[in-house]
Chain A
Amino acid sequence: MTSAIEAIDLTKRYDDFTAVDCLNLRIDEGEIFGFLGPNGAGKTTTIMMFLGLTFPSSGVARVHGYDCARDPLEVKRVAGYLPETLGFYGELSAKENLLYTASLNGIGRREALRRLDEALAYVGLSERAAQPVKQYSRGMRQRLGIADVLIKQPKVVLLDEPTQGIDSATVEDVLNLITGMSRDQGITVLVSSHQLHYIQRICDRVGIMSQGQMVVQGTIGDLAQQLREGEGIVVEMGFGLVSDDLQDALKEVPGVDSVSVRGNLVTVECQLEARARIANVAMRHGNSLHTLQSSDSVLENIYLRYFQQV
């Protein structure tokens, strides 16, 4: 089976600076792949190369078997793109904007109207379709962007920072739409972001980019595995009253490295596996446990670790 998206030693050099350095990546059909990294890590450049808008200095980018540098037209037929700043013609209505996209894709008017109704209904904008886009809020534009991508019935969708600058309720909508189009229509999704907590939720696999290199990639589980071999995590617990008994009990839990107490707050540094037992001990020996918080967001730990190097 050919991969939906594939990069082999993909490199992009500008005069004195390497934006993307020997990137290797395979994304299977129907997968949602999260592309993480801080600003300037090379995510957008990579996406641009997949779309055939920027040409690689060396290496190959392929989408559904088409070479993105040699066959950009075929790639653009199967790939939809949702940029960070969504560009629509403000004076035209949503419908007119989408019809223009359809005509650029060579879709006949009747078919275009059918797909348009479908796509607008899917993103919940049917009632605002006749309104000029300049009256749209940012969240609505984002949804319109998804409708715009769906018009061409793509096999692959590349999203660049889709959750940037919109409120959390809309982010929820957008994330649901992304998972929905993957699930309902079998679309392969590559979504780039630096907001990992959203990405973590919807992605089958993630890759983290830093300074043009893919530093780590795999499923969230894989990444957790990698983390286990490294440093531990931190668990913070708040009690009504902290007893010595509790401290001793915590220190005896295997995998716990240190326990420190500050007022009613107990901070435990430990290995990831010890987490469950710490919670048990805290329930049994502790006096009215009221908060328990662990920096167990696996991705966050990895993410932070790689970003500290930047």
Chain B
Amino acid sequence: MSAVYWKELADYFGNRLFGVVLLLIAVAATWAAYTTTQDLREQAAGVSADFAFLKLFVTTGDTPLSFLFFVGFFGPLLGLVLGFDAVNRERSRGTLSRILTQPIYRDALINGKFLAGATVLGISLISMTFIVIGVGLYFLGMVPSADEVVRLTLFLAATLVYVALWLALSIMFSLLFDRAVMSALASIGVWLALTFFIPFFAVTISAQVVEDSEDAQSVAAERAQWEQRIQRFSPAYLYEEATQPLLNPQIRTLGLVRAEDVQGIGPQPISLGQSLILVWPHLTGLLAACSLVFAAAYLKFMREEVRT
């Protein structure tokens, strides 16, 4: 498998489309981080210095566009770009049968492709993070604390799993469709549907599920809960929920918070362990989704009839 891995790794690094998407995201994310440093400097007196570094990744002053936003929303594109023609291109070029008649296990090809893709994604994400850290060091003159480093590492791991999920999905589509155009469209369609449409579905469905009653407040609460349940089918929402508490230690709970729940609780940040407990189900959920999609692609590939 290592032969396939190194070959694919070299290919992915030379992939121009990937380069373009990565450059766009990196520029946008760096810009977001830079504006944040400016905001932070302005309000430096008022803001506690705790976790200032993490704020580079989540908070932005006037615009809702943060590093997290860019990576969360457009990171999937990186995965899709790498995977959408993974197998059908080999097939249409006729290299698939040539590779598979070499003495390697059949799964070595798809495993090698997936792992090489995940490696490239990992390297890209780490580089982007370091750029943002560099921006922070330069403009804020602060170093991240140990706690922040751990939180960032966990954030990166979660992001990698999230992006790898889309890589696995697009590899699966490259198996289902013979033409790269079709698999690209299908991947992007599923991405759009899961990321942008589920929120709308959630509102409609929850309105259907929870009937109107006199107690408007409890209806609203129940609907919000249903919305959250439905939205969690969207990997994008799951990812957002998983990473917010990691990057923002002040988040203590996910979802709807009632006034009586937070009575007497100050704005102090919670510990890393507590944040982890909060997002653990989300992280496992993401990992499970990624594994499931890859497993589906794997099975499909192993059962495939290979013709010239």
Contacts and interface: CB of A to CB of B under 8 A. Distances in A.
Nearest to A85: B94
Interface stretch (B75-83, B230-238, B279-287, B300-308): B300-308
Given A48-B307, A100-B7, A160-B308, A90 B93 contact: yes
A83 B98 contact: yes
A8 interface: no
A36 interface: no
A74 B4 CA distance: 19
A104 B305 contact: no
Interface string B263-280: 000000000000000000
Contacts of B93: 87-90
Interface stretch (B102-110, B119-127, B158-166, B249-257): B102-110
B14 to A, nearest CB: 8
A130 B100 CA distance: 25
Contacts, number: 71
A260 B305 CA distance: 55
Interface string B69-106: 00000000000000000000010011111111111110
A87 B307 contact: no
B44 interface: no
Contact of A51 (B14, B96, B101): B101
A143 to B, nearest CB: 15
Contact of A100 (B3, B97, B100): B3
Given A44-B308, A100-B7, A104-B4, A87 B103 contact: no
A87 B105 contact: no
A54 interface: yes
B103 A105 contact: yes
Contacts of B90: 87
B94 A87 contact: yes
B101 A76 contact: yes
Contact of A77 (B96, B97, B98, B103): B103
A48 B306 CA distance: 8
Size class of the contact patch on chain B: 20 to 34
A85 B308 contact: yes
A87 B306 contact: no
Interface in A248-283: none
Contacts of B3: 100, 103-104, 106
Interface string A72-89: 011011011101111111
Given A48-B306, A53-B306, A160-B308, A104 B94 contact: no
Given A81-B98, A91-B14, A103-B6, 5 more contacts: A53-B100, A54-B306, A76-B101, A152-B102, A152-B103
28 contacts: A44-B308, A53-B97, A53-B100, A53-B306, A54-B307, A73-B103, A74-B103, A76-B102, A77-B103, A83-B94, A83-B97, A84-B308, A85-B94, A85-B308, A86-B98, A87-B93, A87-B94, A87-B95, A87-B96, A89-B93, A90-B93, A91-B14, A101-B98, A101-B102, A103-B3, A104-B104, A105-B103, A106-B3
5 nearest A-B residue pairs (beta carbon): A87-B94, A87-B95, A103-B3, A104-B102, A81-B101
